[in-house]
Structure 1
């Protein structure tokens, strides 16, 4: 059994080494790439062989041309699909507040899948003599290793959005106070970032940096609402953009948005509190009610059984 464990972890080290250093072995030197590209060029003759058949002279070139067009179209379709998947993954990472490239996340996801599969396979091999369901451990562990990074990313997105939603009212209040004190919107963003911390503050710092780099305020705020995908933040951004367009003081917009968010939060809490009795019905019926029935009906059942048992009926 110890030998099997040693072999399993030796295979783990081997696979990890291949996964980490395998890409470096595929990299080609620039000179080699140039030589290959030059070697692909083919010089075709301008004349045609008179003795060739009609199929070779007309039909075959046409079929080849159509095949090349179809292959080129498939290649472009695959490239467009891959680009869309990459953009979607980048947006998900942005929503989760994870500053990681799509290539790094894909590599991490693959590494977790490979390592998890090997580890759970080793555990299943060790349990082979203990239970006949060792294959169940291998399958469940492998599936979990493949799906774990995606599930964790979704939980990160949800947590990041909830944190932004919870921090938004206080941030708007502080922004309103700073602007009432005479600071501009950009300076207020910087001042708020100095006084507060959190995911929303990080996003506002990103907006401030984009504005400093020359991006317009409306475009930076629009990018903020698109990257976070929080409804309350989208409403705030729309109100600020409209205020900038119409020349309305942003201070009034911030105060109104803060009050609206607090009212919406209050209503959400009331809605959740109203749903609590309904949600408590299921555990009450399944867990508490059977225990109460046993406590109440148990002695009665025992007495009835004793009476019938004493009468000689059983």
Structure 2
């Protein structure tokens, strides 16, 4: 091997080792910084019991980190910010459906997308370079990793939104039944919503949080019709929008709120039962594919396999003897 080739190989190896060492050192410092002093959870709780100010200090550190992220993300999110108010409103509403209502939610979301793009490009590009080299396949891997990390925050927001809407949908009939009991007992609509928020905090926390927010808005002096309309729009649940419309109409025309709530609860339970029946009816069709692909071949081998082996053992010797 010539000295020039050996020098090139050694320089490339040193460069790879340097990159690996830099990445490892960066990850170690990041884990050491974000992981704290390395105490176990039990030690932290004991320290908190010994010194109650420890919890306050930990909370201040987490608040400081949150403020740091909120201050850093607007500059990163500037290239991805919507160009008009319509797009900004749609993005804000989508984040509200997932439960992110703070003023910096858009900046944090867009900043996380840009950070994910950079991380996917560096991580995917580095892994592709070390495994594939400078090839076209490595380029495709880098682009795919960067695209996946760029759209990962959208997937997270969609998943959180779906979980929140399911929690609201499944807990709404029980909340309406409780509201009917409270209204028929003599409480007003505002007091009934407050009672629902208190009683359902452990079972359906998302729905209780939404009703608690409505109570807070009513205490701040917002009109009831506006509060109910915002309740339906910020959650994105059709049943809650229908409930808000019914309550607004009942408040406007002076009809019985308890009767309106009872009718809405019955309709929601009927819809839930219909959805369950629909899913049960679709089960037979969905089972065809695993049956044909996985179960039927195994049954065919178990039933026909021994007979086939017996026929081969009996027929082939008889055929060869007849010849």
Q: Indicate whether the TM-score tops 0.5.
A: yes
Aligned to 2:92: 90
- Gap regions ≥5 residues in structure 1: 26-78
1:219 to 220, 223, 226: 226
1:251 to 231, 254, 258: 258
CA contact (8 A) 1:160 1:199 kept: yes
2:299 to 288, 292, 299: 292
Deviation at 1:276, TM superposition (A): 1.1
CA contact (8 A) 2:129 2:138 kept: yes
Aligned to 2:178: 174
Aligned to 1:194: 198
Deviation at 1:136, TM superposition (A): 5.5
User: Per-residue CA shift, 1:12-39, capped at 9, x if unaligned?
Assistant: 96xx9xxx979779xxxxxxxxxxxxxx
Aligned to 2:128: 124
Q: Distance in 1 between matches of 2:280 and 2:14?
A: 56
**SS of the residue aligned with 2:84?**
helix
Answering whether residue 9 of structure 2 is matched by residue 7 of structure 1, we say no
Deviation at 1:83, TM superposition (A): 2.4
Answering whether residue 230 of structure 2 is matched by residue 230 of structure 1, we say no
User: Per-residue CA shift, 1:83-109, capped at 9, x if unaligned?
Assistant: 222211110010111234211111112
Aligned to 1:28: none
Instruction: Between the two structures, name the one with larger relative contact order (CA 8 Å, sep ≥ 6).
Output: 1
Aligned to 1:114: 118
Answering whether residue 166 of structure 2 is matched by residue 154 of structure 1, we say no
Q: Distance in 1 between matches of 2:21 and 2:89?
A: 36
Q: Distance in 2 between matches of 1:24 and 1:8?
A: 29
- Change in 2 beyond 3 A, CA 1:2/1:245: farther
Q: Distance in 1 between matches of 2:281 and 2:195?
A: 39
- What TM-score do the two structures reach when normalised by structure 1? 0.72
- Gap regions ≥5 residues in structure 2: 1-12, 31-70
- What TM-score do the two structures reach when normalised by structure 2? 0.70
- Change in 2 beyond 3 A, CA 1:99/1:199: same
Would you say how many aligned residue pairs link Structure 1 and Structure 2? 256
2:216 to 204, 209, 217: 209
Q: Distance in 1 between matches of 2:75 and 2:152?
A: 27
CA contact (8 A) 2:119 2:146 kept: no
User: Per-residue CA shift, 1:61-118, capped at 9, x if unaligned?
Assistant: xxxxxxxxxxxxxxxxxx9843222211110010111234211111112112211321
Pairwise CA RMSD: 3.3
